[in-house]
A and B are shown apart, each in its own frame.
Chain A
Amino acid sequence: MMPVDALARVVANAVQRADPFLAAAAYAAAGEQDRGRLEPILLASYRLKRQFAEAPFAPPEVLRRLAAEPDRKIRLKVARHPATPPEVLRQLAGEGACVETLEAVARHRNAPTEVLEGMPWREHPGVRDALCSNPRAPLALLRALAECAPLAALKGIANSPNADAGLLARLWESPDPYLRAQVAAHRNCPPAIMEAAERDPEPAVRRMLAANPAASMQTLLGLLGDEAAEVRAAAVQGASVPAEELSDLAADPSSQVRRTEARRAALPAAVVERLACDPDAWVRRWLGRNRCVQEPVLARLAADAELEVRRAVSRNPGCTPALLDRLAADPAAWVRAGVALRPDIPAGALARLSAEEDPDVASAIGRNPNTAREVLLRIAASGNADLRRAVILNRAAPREVLRTLMEDPYPLNRVMLTEHPALAGEDLEILTEDPDPHVRFAALRALIRRGRPERPAAAADDSSSTTNPE
């Protein structure tokens, strides 16, 4: 929480500079009286209101204020904003709301349950369909909606976590195979329907059943012998499939099945051995990433002719330091970049890769928490905005390196810089005078989050160049 006097200075500064973006950041933390002073700046023009109503970074407090605007389009944008809080959505759905706003609230993930229940869906098909797709819609509402919703909307109901066995049983009666497939995939799907789904003539239904985490071992065993490769591929992912079944599947004629098997969290050693020799490179790629694969096989895959198989091994957490050292000398930069990203990279490999200029390797080195300060300084001075951003994204980067990026020519980099924990309050204060409005906003937000004041208003007199550049 920011001290009262510090907050007063922040507000005074935003008012003095008439900067709507500083005002937006300060508004979130300000009290009622201060908000009254900030609002004329924040809401100075229709364009600003519209801009904040659709800005991904708009704080909920600003959205709350905008929801009270008389303009219908502004309110609609607030209703569509993902950060709009529940009580604001309740207000927006109140008396006089237009149909578009009602639809947006009906679809919104933050909408309170009682608001969803009270929506006039019988009068407005758009509102009805939006409610069907809202995972917060309660069971009683879903049941009522299912009475009259069209097929496309019924699929939303079949996908809802609140749909119970009774409702799913009703939906199962549909002739549409994709709706039945959704039912078969639902965690609450009743056993009787699962049995019926296992025999369904549509492969999509059997495939979705096979992917259902609630499917029994018996069901999965049945589906492993299915004639459709896509069904067997879905079934092989099931955690309850016994090890002895996996052995046969490693020789399945469909590469889709073997690829999926290579992704399983647990695989017997014999199956790993077999899949490691699979002629399909995708099988070996998936295996290379698999955390259950151990060193002897990983070492073989690390010498694979396919670049992407070696890259997969470089990203496997089970890769030993010796193997990482070997992969750090791989002829393909993409493989070396995979090693360079790892926090557990051996010191020798890190030193070697730190000298590389390939953008993927250099970017990975820039993000690596073990990278030396001098190397980070060099990357931070790169002409490539992506490489400089890699240093900004490195949570271990020291302040002295980050300070060199405070005037980065790419504004997005400066926005991201404000989120770095090593940047000092003084640095953020400087960034509140950045020419880019988003940077100023982000810097002040970060300062407020840290509970630090911006510099006193009297010291900001010379900042006229940043006044309302929009």
Chain B
Amino acid sequence: MNGILVIAEHRRGALNPATLEAVAAAVDLKQARAQPVAVAVIARNPDDFLAEVNVAGVDEIIRVAVPTDGFQSDVYEAAVAALAAARQPAVILLAHTVDTWGYAAAVAVRGGFGCATDVYAMRYEGDALVATRAAYKEKLGMELDFPGRQTVLLTLRGNVFKPIEEPGNAAVSSLEAPAVAARTTHLGYIEPEQAGDVDISQAEYMLSIGRGVGDEDNVEQFKELADALGFTLGCSRPIADNGWLPKSRQVGQSGKTVVNCKIYIAIGISGSVQHMAGMKHVPNIIAINKDAEASIFSIARYGVVGDMFEIAKELRNHC
């Protein structure tokens, strides 16, 4: 067994950026232990994606033509199993997405592969691949190895591996997809609810305000601060309930989850369970509150106890 196989993912004609993250992870592994990297594109017209996946470090791109572009787990399961049988890779890498949840485990069971999901780090210890994933609601990182497994299939967490931008010079080959009687039919796409003026779920830097703002007129200065910092403004439920900010800015259980957020500044937010449901996963939470006992401090990496208006003014003066 040798080589790393990455399965590309796409939807409605666009490559999922997570594919290039998986490719980057594969190239990292390749550097640790010399082995070729192949990227398989399973699509009605695989050529549509060749240029995008052809980045530095990729040795081969495998075209796998299938009858439809809409994702079907049976089709992918059969195609990836055929790829694994043909290329005998040591590692198969997939993005950890709703699509791969539908077939990754089935492929692993079918091939007798080692398998781990939502992996965010990998390394070799001698010949053994060790994958790291979270456990106990992100409280622990656990390392997994796969003794006795010739092939290991991993799904990779998003926004962990930096995509490679330099173009590559990969060879292109083809593999015939096995015929599959798919058990499902793709009927169409249902558009998600309109995100409003801004999609906070995709924002990387958020500044959110809560009940501590006190008055509608005070909201403006935090809009101005967020603007000056280059952050996206969000809010807790009472602010949106009062109509002081659009519903699309509401973070929390009945609002949105800030999936991609890296830094979250919570100003005047006490930290209700409902609000924290939408942001507690953010790695860098900075809480500003006059109440030192506010629940928000229990999940904050940095906490500032003080007058939110004064602190906001001070921040503004440093922008």
Interface residues of A (CB under 8 A from B): 80-82, 104, 107, 133, 204, 207, 230, 259, 282, 285-286, 289, 308, 312, 315, 334, 337-338, 341, 359-360, 363-364, 367, 385-386, 389-390, 393, 410, 412
Contacts and interface: CB of A to CB of B under 8 A. Distances in A.
A334 B197 contact: yes
B17 interface: no
A308 B250 CA distance: 18
A393 B237 CA distance: 12
Contacts of A364: 243
Contacts of A282: 224, 227
Given A230-B317, A334-B197, A389 B241 contact: yes
Nearest to B224: A282
A142 B197 CA distance: 49
B217 interface: yes
Interface string B212-249: 00001100100110010000000000001101001110
Contacts of A285: 220
Contacts of A367: 243
B254 interface: yes
A412 B272 CA distance: 11
B293 interface: yes
B202 interface: no
A54 to B, nearest CB: 8
Contact of A289 (B217, B250, B293): B217
Contacts of A363: 240-241, 243, 247
Nearest to A77: B293
B224 A386 contact: no
7 contacts: A133-B305, A230-B317, A312-B220, A337-B243, A363-B243, A385-B254, A393-B241
Given A359-B196, A386-B250, 7 more contacts: A107-B293, A133-B292, A315-B216, A363-B243, A364-B243, A389-B241, A389-B254
B145 interface: no
B293 A82 contact: yes
A408 to B, nearest CB: 11
B197 A390 contact: no
B291 interface: yes
A331 to B, nearest CB: 13
Interface residues of B, number: 25
B247 A360 contact: yes
B241 A360 contact: no
Interface string B128-171: 00000000000000000000000000000000000000000000
Contacts of B223: 308
A363 B238 CA distance: 13
Nearest to B291: A82
Contacts of A82: 291, 293
Q: Which 7 A-B pairs have the closest CB atoms?
A: A80-B293, A341-B243, A359-B247, A230-B317, A385-B254, A364-B243, A360-B246
B293 to A, nearest CB: 4
Interface in B305-319: 305, 314, 317
Interface of B: 196-197, 216-217, 220, 223-224, 227, 240-241, 243, 246-248, 250, 253-255, 274, 291-293, 305, 314, 317
A334 B198 CA distance: 12
Contacts of A259: 224
Contacts of B240: 363, 386
A334 B246 contact: yes
Contacts of A390: 241
A315 B220 CA distance: 12
Nearest to B270: A56
Contact of A207 (B197, B293, B317): B317
A80 B293 CA distance: 6
B263 to A, nearest CB: 23
A80 B291 CA distance: 10
A39 to B, nearest CB: 26
Nearest to B274: A412
Contacts of B220: 285-286, 289, 312
Given A82-B293, A334-B197, A386 B241 contact: yes
A82 B295 CA distance: 12
Nearest to A211: B313
Nearest to A385: B254
A363 B292 CA distance: 33
A386 B248 CA distance: 11
A89 B221 CA distance: 37
Nearest to A308: B223
B239 to A, nearest CB: 12
A312 B253 CA distance: 29
A308 B246 CA distance: 12
Contacts of A107: 292-293
Contacts of A341: 243
A308 B219 CA distance: 12
Nearest to B197: A334
Q: Which of B217, B220, B254 has the most CB of A within 10 A?
A: B220
Nearest to B254: A385
B297 to A, nearest CB: 11
Contacts of B217: 289
Nearest to B250: A386
B293 A360 contact: no
Contacts of A207: 317
A393 B239 CA distance: 13
